[in-house]
Amino acid sequence: NAGVTQTPKFQVLKTGQSMTLQCAQDMNHEYMSWYRQDPGMGLRLIHYSVGAGITDQGEVPNGYNVSRSTTEDFPLRLLSAAPSQTSVYFCATRNTFQGEQYFGPGTRLTVT
Amino acid sequence: LAKTTQPISMDSYEGQEVNITCSHNNIATNDYITWYQQFPSQGPRFIIQGYKTKVTNEVASLFIPADRKSSTLSLPRVSLSDTAVYYCLVGGPGGYQKVTFGIGTKLQVIP
């Protein structure tokens, strides 16, 4: 079991570029989410999904898009990167009816 | 979700027991209390979850008083490897759809 995987681990973008952060899980969890973590701050929820075809916004959704076409994958898209999106991004999954979340290793994104 | 308050930082010497208290005055009847641990450059990791009284696992204990307005995470005989940020979360199975972690408590274990 790989658990939760994220790619890439590191990425540098120029302002205005677009990219997709990948998240995949093999635990058959319905719930998946994306967080960002900035220095000295906790994790802030960007978007989440409670199942294939169902997504919703978290605390800080602006500038990010998501879709959920399969149970396994939950990509996060940055359509036009901005320096304010420089952060570490974590993907997480859980069984819908339990509180324990499983986190991926993170993607460190720098936007110049 | 119920708002939580916990100390920003704590220091402890190796071998001591560490207690981190979290306040959650507006906890709802069906809310559970969950603690996570995060090491630098890693995602948070689940430690323990409870509803009331005391829960113990191989890593920690969680003490919850009868009024459930606070909870205490207890780490026995900490080592340097326990240096991390610890987050307290409160919510029910449905309420966990939107989970916010707050700043957490940064525990520094001193040799």
- In chain B, residues with a C-beta closer than 8 Å to the C-beta of A94 are 96
- pLDDT tens digit sequence for B1-33: 568 999 999 999 999 999 999 999 988 888 889
Count of CB pairs separated by less than 8 Å, A with B: 61
Confidence at residue B100, expressed as pLDDT on a 0 to 100 scale: 73
**A92 part of contact set with chain B, CB < 8 Å:** yes
Residue A9 CB partners (closer than 8 Å, separation 6+): A105, A106, A107, A108
Structural tokens at position B14? 């190796």
**A10 part of contact set with chain B, CB < 8 Å:** no
pLDDT confidence bin for A15, thresholds 50/70/90: very high
pLDDT confidence bin for B36, thresholds 50/70/90: very high
For the residues B60-75, what does the mean pLDDT come to? 96
Asked whether the predicted pLDDT for residue A83 surpasses 80, the reply is yes
Structure-token match 């027991």, residue found:
B17
CB A26 within 8 A of CB A70: no
Polymer length of chain A: 112
The dihedral of CA A60, A61, A66, A68: what is its sign?
positive
pLDDT confidence bin for A88, thresholds 50/70/90: very high
Confidence at residue B29, expressed as pLDDT on a 0 to 100 scale: 87
Q: Which helix (H) or strand (E) holds A19?
A: strand A19-25
DSSP secondary-structure letter at B15? T
Residue B29 CB partners (closer than 8 Å, separation 6+): none
Minimum CA–CA partner of B94 in chain A: A97
**B4 part of contact set with chain A, CB < 8 Å:** no
- Distance separating alpha carbons of residues B48 and B13, to the nearest angstrom: 23
The dihedral of CA B75, B49, A95, A54: what is its sign?
negative
- pLDDT tens digit sequence for A28-68: 999 999 999 998 788 899 999 989 999 999 989 999 999 99
- In chain A, residues with a C-beta closer than 8 Å to the C-beta of B49 are 99-100
Residue B16 CB partners (closer than 8 Å, separation 6+): B77, B78
pLDDT confidence bin for B103, thresholds 50/70/90: confident
CB A34 within 8 A of CB A43: no
Is A82 in a helix, a strand, or coil? coil
Confidence at residue B8, expressed as pLDDT on a 0 to 100 scale: 95
CB B36 within 8 A of CB B90: no
